[in-house]
Amino acid sequence: MEPSILFHIGSFPVYQPVFWTWVIMAFLAIGSFILTRNLQKTPKGVQHFLEVGIEWVETLIAHDVGPARKIFVPLILMTALYVGVANMIGVIPGAYSPTEDLTTTLTLSLMIYVLGHIAGIAKKGFGKWLKGFIEPTFLMLPLNLAGEVSEFVSHSFRLYGNIFGGGILLGILYMMAPYVLPVPLMAWFGIIMGIIQTAVFTLLASIYIQNKLT
C-alpha cells in the first residue's frame, strides 16, 4: 500500500511514515538528552535501567564482534529504540507506526545488512570476504547470493508483516466486538506485540552482524 501524503514542504511531499519517523527521532533525541545529562559513576534509578539495557545488547554481540562492539552496540541499541517506539506508537489515537510501511523496514534491514558486510570486510579483508561467497565450492555461488538477498528481505518482511497484519487484526476485532475488547485492552495487545517484534528484530540484527564477522 502506498503511504499517504500528509503535507508538502514547497514541492517536496512529506509522507506519513517519514513524518512519524521525524516525530520518533525527535522524541528519542530529547529523551536521550534528558536521561543522560546527569550521569553518575554509581548508577541509580533510570540510569541503572539504561545501563542494564546497554549491557544486554553487548551480551548479544560481544563474543563474535570483538572490538567492533564499540561500533555495533550503539547501532543495535539505536535500532531497537527506534523500532520499539515505531511499533508501539500506533496505539496512540491518530498516530501511525512507520514500521507498517515496507520501505521503512526494508531500509532498516538494508542498513544492518550493508554495515555488517562492511565490518566483515574490515575484519577479514576483501579477498577472504569475497571468498566466502564461493564456499565450500564455486557451485554454491548462486545459492549463497540468494541466501544473502533473502536474509535482509525476510528480516524486513517479518517486521512489516507482523506490525501491519497485527494492526489490521486488531482493527477487525474492534469492529466485531467493540464492547468486548475495549480500547485500553487493544492498546495493551498492541504494546505487547510491539515489544515482541522489537526483540525479534533486534536479536536477528545482532545474529546477522555476527554471521558477517565469523
Contact by Cβ (8 Å): 197, 144: no
- Pick the closest to residue 97 from 147, 24, 36, 152 (CA basis): 24
- Rounded CA-CA distance 142/129 in Å is 16
Q: For residue range 101-137, what is the model confidence (pLDDT) as tens digits?
A: 889 999 999 998 898 888 888 888 888 888 888 887 8
The pLDDT of residue 30: 93
The pLDDT of residue 158: 85
Residue 144 reports pLDDT greater than 80: yes
Residue 181 reports pLDDT greater than 70: no
Identify which of 11-15, 20-24, 75-79, 119-123 has the greatest average pLDDT. Answer: 20-24
The pLDDT of residue 28: 93
The pLDDT of residue 72: 79
Residues near 97 by beta carbon (within 8 Å), at least 6 away in sequence? 20, 86, 87, 88, 89, 90, 163, 167, 194
Helix (H) or strand (E) holding 18: helix 16-36
pTM for the full predicted model? 0.83
The pLDDT of residue 140: 81
The pLDDT of residue 183: 61
Q: For residue range 163-172, what is the model confidence (pLDDT) as tens digits?
A: 877 777 666 7
